[in-house]
């Protein structure tokens, strides 16, 4: 087991437009598996890989705050929302690494879809020099990478050792056995536009905020 004194800092980036159970529940299971004491949710401002979010930064931040209000595992860091420039994960990780020092273990949490897409991220080769990657399962996405070269890269960095994640500062990829939730923010936005219920897809306080602010309709 991981040393109880060890502090693996874990970040969870995304658009969170809106935050939903597919974000929260797999990460709660992951936290138990790899002994994370805290997970920092970091919503991005101008995601470089995708269309602009429909809810503005302050609304997405407010929804994250509501979703985690009674969940002490989670904590919000809004530094990317305060930037005008694109949110490149690698740059945020560099900033954090400078803050926490070279030896502190640092992890970035992603879903399986993001792992498959990772090699399109800005300076993706640098990511593992800065952090570990903790990958949650997501239904509908292949468990093998898109090309043999990508698979080779993955295999070279894989670990199933929780101890390694806590003992080393960066460099490992851990594929967690997390429960699957077939939920996406895209699907929630589409359902809300069609006035379909979303009650079992996201926390009630977030659903209420969406109603009050007439988001996504």
Q: How far apart are CA 118 and CA 63, in angstroms?
A: 26
Neighbours of 149 (CB within 10 A): 10
| Residues 123-162, interacting with ligand ATP (CB under 6 A) | 136, 138
Q: Determine which residue in the list 11, 26, 118, 170 makes contact with ligand ATP, applying CB under 6 A.
A: 26
Q: Determine which residue in the list 34, 96, 110, 206 makes contact with ligand ATP, applying CB under 6 A.
A: 110
93 binds ligand ATP (CB under 6 A): no
- The least CB distance from residue 100 to ligand ATP, in Å, is 21
74 binds ligand ATP (CB under 6 A): no
52 binds ligand ATP (CB under 6 A): no
**C-beta of 6 vs 150, nearer to ligand ATP:** 150
Q: At a CB cut-off of 8 Å and minimum separation 6, what does 127 contact? A: 89, 90, 93, 108, 118, 121, 133
184 binds ligand ATP (CB under 6 A): yes
Sign of CA dihedral 111, 112, 113, 116: positive
* Options 19-27, 65-73, 124-132, 158-166: segment touching ligand ATP (CB under 6 A): 19-27
Q: Are 206 and 18 spatial neighbours (Cβ–Cβ below 8 Å)? A: yes
Per the DSSP assignment, residues forming a β-bridge with 125 are: none
95 binds ligand ATP (CB under 6 A): no
Per the DSSP assignment, residues forming a β-bridge with 173 are: 133, 158
Q: How far apart are CA 215 and CA 209, in angstroms?
A: 8
22 binds ligand ATP (CB under 6 A): yes
- The least CB distance from residue 79 to ligand ATP, in Å, is 16
- In the numeric block, the tokens 């593992």 are attached to 128
Q: How far apart are CA 26 and CA 135, in angstroms?
A: 10
Q: Determine which residue in the list 17, 42, 118, 133 makes contact with ligand ATP, applying CB under 6 A.
A: 17
List strand residue ranges (DSSP E) for 15-145, in order. 39-43, 74-76, 106-111, 132-136
**C-beta of 179 vs 204, nearer to ligand ATP:** 179
* Options 59-67, 81-89, 107-115, 158-166: segment touching ligand ATP (CB under 6 A): 107-115
Residues that bind ligand ATP (CB under 6 A): 14-17, 22-23, 26, 110-111, 113-114, 136, 138, 181, 183-186
């Amino acid at each position: 087991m991981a040393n109880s004194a060890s502090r693996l800092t874990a970040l969870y980036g995304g658009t969170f437009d809106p935050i939903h159970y597919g974000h929260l529940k797999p990460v709660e299971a992951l936290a138990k598996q790899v002994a994370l004491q805290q997970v920092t949710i970091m919503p991005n401002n101008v995601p470089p890989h995708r269309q602009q979010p429909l809810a503005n930064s302050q609304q997405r931040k407010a929804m994250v705050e509501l979703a985690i209000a009674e969940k002490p595992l989670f904590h919000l860091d809004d530094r990317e929302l305060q930037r005008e420039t694109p949110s490149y994960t690698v740059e945020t990780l560099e900033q954090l690494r400078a803050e926490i020092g070279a030896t502190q273990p640092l992890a970035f949490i992603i879903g399986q879809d993001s792992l498959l897409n990772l090699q399109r991220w800005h300076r993706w080769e640098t990511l593992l020099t800065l952090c570990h990657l903790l990958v949650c399962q997501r239904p509908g996405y292949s468990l093998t990478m898109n090309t043999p070269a990508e698979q080779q890269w993955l295999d070279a960095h894989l670990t199933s050792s929780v101890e390694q994640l806590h003992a080393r500062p960066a460099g490992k990829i851990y594929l967690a056995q997390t429960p699957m939730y077939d939920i996406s923010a895209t699907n929630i936005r589409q359902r809300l536009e069609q006035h379909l219920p979303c009650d079992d897809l996201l926390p009630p306080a977030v659903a209420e905020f969406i109603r009050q602010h007439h988001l996504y309709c």
